[in-house]
Structure 1
Amino acid sequence: MIANYLAVSGGIFSIGLALFHIGFWRIFNWGKTLPRMNKMDRAVMQVMNLCLIVLFSSMAGLYFYFGGSLSDNAAGRAILILFAIFWGFRALIQIPYFGGSALSWAFVGIFTIGFVIPAAMLYLA
C-alpha cells in the first residue's frame, strides 16, 4: 500500500520535473539567450533538455504503470536503484555547479525527494 503511494508520488514528481524542463525556453528566455551561444553549445543545451524531458516522462510512466510492484522483482528494483542514483547524484552536484544560494539549496531539497522516493520503495520491499 505505501509502495503504491510512493509510486504515485514518484510519478507526480517526475511529471513536475518534465513540465519544469518544458518551461525552460520561457523561464530562461532561450529565444534571446541561446542565439548568443555558439551553434554546438546551443544544440547541446536543447538536446540535453529534450532528453531530460523524455527521461522524466518515462520515469513517470514507469511509476504510474508499474506502481508499487516496481520493488517486487529484480528488474523493477534495478530501475528504482537507477532512479535513486540519478537523483542522489543530481542533489550532490547542485551546490558545486550552481552555488549555495537559498534557491540552490531548495533544489537540493527537491532532488533529495527524487532520491528518497525510490530509496523508500526499495527499503520497504
Structure 2
Amino acid sequence: MILHFRIIGALLLVLAMSHVVFPRYFRWSEELKPLSLINRQIMTIHTFFIALTVFLLGLLCLSAAGELVETALGRKISLGMGVFWGTRLVIQFVGYSPELWKGRKFETTVHVLFSLLFTYMSVVFLWAYFY
C-alpha cells in the first residue's frame, strides 16, 4: 500500500506541474478576454491554488505514506482524499461534455488516462481507510 501512495505522490507532483502550461495551452489570454477582470483573475488564482493543493498532496503521499496508511489520522486523511478523487472521477463524466473529447484522438486519450488516474487514486485512498 505504501508503494501505491508513493506512486500517487509522484503522479500528483507531475499533475500539479502540468498546470503551468494551462494558460498557454488553453489560450487564456484570448479565451478569457471577454470576461470581467475579477473572473479572469479568479481563473488564474484558483488554478494556482488547485495546483498548489495537488502539489502538497503529492508531497504528503511521498513523505508520509506510512502514516497515511497506519495511523487513525492518516486513514481519515486518506478517506478525505478518496472522496475528493472519487468526486473528481464522477465530474470527469458528468461535468465535461463528451463533445470536448469524443472523436478527437488526443483529447480522448487524455480523458481515458485521467479517468484511470482518478479511479486509481480513489481506490487506493479508500482502500487505505477501509482496510
Q: CA deviation at 1:51?
A: 1.0
Shift of 1:16: 1.8
Identity rate of aligned residues, in percent? 23
The residue that corresponds to 1:5 in the other structure is 3
Letter paired with 1:114: M
1:92 equivalent in structure 2: 90
Shift of 1:29: 1.6
Aligned partner of 1:43 in structure 2 is 41
The alignment's TM-score, normalised by the length of structure 2, stands at 0.81
Aligned to 1:31: 29
Give the letter aligned to residue 89 of structure 2. A
**2: CA distance between counterparts of 1:66 and 1:5?**
11
The TM-score with structure 1 as length reference comes to: 0.84
The Cα RMSD (Å) is: 1.9
* Counterpart among 107, 112, 120 of residue 113 in structure 1: 120
Give 3-state SS (helix, strand or coil) of 2:33's partner: helix
Unmatched runs of 5 consecutive residues or more in structure 1: none
- Which runs of no fewer than 5 residues in structure 2 stay unpaired? 103-107
Tell me how many residue pairs correspond in the alignment.
122
**Distance in structure 2 (CA, Å) of the matches to 1:67 and 1:17:** 18
For the Cα contact (< 8 Å) 2:69–2:129, is it kept in 1? Answer: yes
